[in-house]
Amino acid sequence: MTVDAHLLRTFVAVARLGSFSAAAAELQYTQAAVSQQIAALEADLKVQLLRRRPVEPTEAGTRLLEHAVPILLRMDAARSDVIRMTAPPAARLIVAMTPLAAVISPALATLAQLRTRMPRLDVTVRAVSRAEAAEATARGDADLGLTDGLAAPSDPLPALAPLSAVGVAEAVVAVILPAGHPLAPRGSAGLQLSDLADARWIDAPGVAPELADLRRAAGTEGFRPAFRYAGTDVLTLLRLAAEGHGLTVAPFGTPLPTNLPGIAGVTAVPVSAPRLVHRVELIHGTLPAGSPAALFAAMLA
Amino acid sequence: MTVDAHLLRTFVAVARLGSFSAAAAELQYTQAAVSQQIAALEADLKVQLLRRRPVEPTEAGTRLLEHAVPILLRMDAARSDVIRMTAPPAARLIVAMTPLAAVISPALATLAQLRTRMPRLDVTVRAVSRAEAAEATARGDADLGLTDGLAAPSDPLPALAPLSAVGVAEAVVAVILPAGHPLAPRGSAGLQLSDLADARWIDAPGVAPELADLRRAAGTEGFRPAFRYAGTDVLTLLRLAAEGHGLTVAPFGTPLPTNLPGIAGVTAVPVSAPRLVHRVELIHGTLPAGSPAALFAAMLA
DNA sequence: GGACATTACGTGTTACGTAAAAATG
DNA sequence: CATTTTTACGTAACACGTAATGTCC
């Protein structure tokens, strides 16, 4: 009655990478093995899960993905959770942070306070993409995750199944505009999010909020990417915006290093989007009482 | 990196049954196989999960159980969810109901309405224990589940990972007292839940709300079971209460068949327990639009 | 034709059952 | 001493790799 978790994992990899061979490389299998695994899964469920060439999930496959991802996340969480019980209490803290979360949340300042209270604590901050944060925390590669993203103000925090999420900061959404951009003058005059749907956007899943969230909030098909930045560097993203490659959003209040070459003149203009805020969330599994991670979480909340 | 779901399933069975051999019988394995599976799991996680003789989970095992149960539930849900996508739209409705939910919720009346609107619909109501309801719904053995239980009034509905839960009825908690019970006269005079902590209680996990919930709400160690009823029959439970075997709770408003022999004289006295209500919840997975299940859920909400 | 997925086939691992031993209450 | 779990061992299934075949841009 159980679906083999192993098969689920390769299915997720294939779906994510859009390729059997790429998934095989990532998972250290041969293509043939991956092909057989997918075939086995499809045979087990008696449904086609992937369309080939191009490789993309069918409707049933999409549905399965919605289950598989949280299941695998939770399996990782279960393992690290149980194993951690035997491990000696760590005098170590690893925080996985999304770049914007690091910039705009009080986390780094709080971390400094923590270090004065626990001077010998071994602290590591790992920069991760939004997608990696939950995974790293679930796997136990990080004790805590700190992510940023767009959400409806009234949205409950996302139920990351095994993980808890607590909001630590919220900000108005702002658009980053290059110097002299025609929209810049409207400034605080209440720029509407929907006005920007047809602009050229930068898709930067590693750093910026998801364009899909903008679409959802605006209820349009706009916000189409004209440029894709695959990195995780805030300065690079700002530079791209400054050079006019496209628009991007950031939490209003993000400090802009306008004294840097190529970034000068960039402005962040708050956007009127009643159904949208930028929120920073702290995610974590079970925090051993008295652990540095628990202390840090308490200080941040 | 994944723990074998197969091993998880037998681990859960062993923990639940408190026996390797019993689990083997249930899962159609030999004892030896179960022993090896548990050994494999413990070796994989490098932690002892079960103490033997008597067989009970260690601390790490308990932690693993907290993950394993939802994981397996979700795996079942994933399978039935995906498979259902290929199946033809069912002209069939299976509802898994907890006994008290059937008695006090408007569900059966609503079901009657539904049948007048869809006369040819094949309807089945399955009586289940509280524990079975979610499982049956997740597996797809039932289209909908209807459970009752105690909750804090402000409690969010429990996040059953893959399943949605929506409250359909709430009632004050009442104690069932036999005729002439000394507490009966206090009647509406505001009986306190905490007054009853030291009484003798009937533990009837198949029918009555969990005593553990009472303990949690009262913040005491009381509400200790003096009698255990393993069945799922409301009348039997009432009879036991009437005969003075112990106390039990029920939602205030539960119709009492006081004209039946052995039950006459029983009264339900509302209990003042500010942090506690009896709530009936409808649980379901993805409901295909237009399906009988979706229609029923809409009528009930 | 080239990149990519599928099928065929051989092999090593593993996961089970049978049976015997150990352990515990 | 009886019950229950563990260990030993043989076998059968299976999951993977290699290699050949098929298929789509």
Sort out which chain A residues have CB atoms less than 8 A from B8's CB and list them: 2
CB nearest to A74's CB, from B59, B60, B67: B67
Tell me which DSSP letter residue B209 carries: P
C-alpha closest to that of B190 among B210, B174, B170: B174
Q: How confident is the model at residue B273 (pLDDT cuts 50, 70, 90)?
A: confident
Checking if the pLDDT of A214 tops 80, the result is: yes
What count of other Cβ atoms lies within 10 Å of the Cβ of residue A137?
33
Q: How confident is the model at residue A185 (pLDDT cuts 50, 70, 90)?
A: low
Crossing angle (nearest 10°) for helices B31-45 and B20-27:
110
Q: What distances in angstroms separate CA A109 from CA A181, B15, B261, one per listed residue?
A: 34, 45, 72
Distance CA B267, CA B258 (A): 9
Q: What distances in angstroms separate CA A145 from CA A148, A172, A243, one per listed residue?
A: 10, 22, 32
Q: Please report, rounded to whole angstroms, the spatial distance between the CA atom of protein residue A140 and the C1' atom of nucleotide C22.
A: 38
Which backbone phi and psi does A214 adopt, to 5 degrees? -65, -45
Cβ atoms of A71 and A206 closer than 8 Å: no
Q: How confident is the model at residue A64 (pLDDT cuts 50, 70, 90)?
A: very high
Sort out which chain A residues have CB atoms less than 8 A from B85's CB and list them: 47, 59-60, 63
**All residues at 6 or more sequence positions from A231 whose CB lies less than 8 Å from its CB, including other chains:** A204, A206, A207, A237
Q: For B79-105, write each residue's pLDDT tens digit.
A: 988 988 887 777 888 999 998 888 887
The distance from CA A50 to its chain's CA centroid, rounded to whole angstroms, is: 25
Cβ atoms of B106 and B167 closer than 8 Å: no
pLDDT for residue A30: 92
3-state secondary structure of A195: helix
What's the average model confidence in pLDDT over A86-111? 85
The token duo for A204 is 């930067």
Q: For B19-72, write each residue's pLDDT tens digit.
A: 999 999 999 999 999 999 999 999 999 999 999 878 889 999 999 999 999 899
3-state secondary structure of A141: coil
**Following DSSP, what letter does each residue of A251-275 receive, concatenated?**
ETT----TTSTTTTT-EEEEEE-TT
Q: Please report, rounded to whole angstroms, the spatial distance between the CA atom of protein residue B8 and the C1' atom of nucleotide C23.
A: 26
Q: For A33-63, write each residue's pLDDT tens digit.
A: 999 999 999 999 999 999 987 888 999 999 9
Q: What distances in angstroms separate CA B152 from CA A161, B160, B268, B276, one per listed residue?
A: 21, 17, 20, 5
Closest CA to the C1' of D4: that residue is B21
Looking at the complex, report in whole angstroms how far the Cα of residue A43 sits from the nearest Cα belonging to chain B: 11
Helices (H), chain A: 5-17, 20-27, 31-45, 59-86, 99-104, 107-117, 130-139, 211-218, 234-242, 292-300
Distance CA B62, CA B68 (A): 10
Half-sphere exposure of A152 (CA within 13 A, CB side): 10
Distance CA B80, CA B77 (A): 5
Q: For B167-224, write each residue's pLDDT tens digit.
A: 888 888 888 888 877 776 655 567 787 788 888 888 888 888 888 888 887 788 888 8
Q: For A142-178, write each residue's pLDDT tens digit.
A: 999 999 988 877 666 666 667 788 888 888 888 888 8
Looking at the complex, report in whole angstroms how far the Cα of residue B142 sits from the nearest Cα belonging to chain A: 16
pTM comes to 0.82
